[in-house]
Amino acid sequence: MSQLCKIVPERCIACGLCAVYAPEIFDYDEEGIVLFAQEPEAHQQFIPEAKQDVVLNAYKKCPVRAILLES
């Protein structure tokens, strides 16, 4: 089952951990703020089951909770 992931760029402190743990899903803009690698303008996206473990890890490592997960 796909999981919905939301990002909150306003919370992001540009630490880059999300892109370290899930580089296929997360990227960052020129200021280091989180965005989705495949859909840079989107603030939410469904995560394929095969990538849910790395996204969960990125979620857990985010120090400011700029990544949100919903089942």
Pairing of the two strands 34-36 and 26-28: antiparallel
> In Å, how far are 2, 15, 34 from 7, measured between CA atoms?
16, 14, 7
Amino acid occupying residue 31? E
Backbone φ and ψ of 67, nearest 5°? -115, 130
Q: Where are the domains of the chain?
A: 3-70
Q: Which CATH architecture has domain 3-70?
A: 2-Layer Sandwich (3.30)
What pLDDT score does 71 carry?
A: 79
- Provide the pLDDT for residue 14: 97
Q: In tens digits, what is the pLDDT along the chain, a chain of 71 residues?
A: 789 999 999 999 999 999 999 999 999 999 999 999 999 999 999 999 999 999 999 999 999 999 999 97
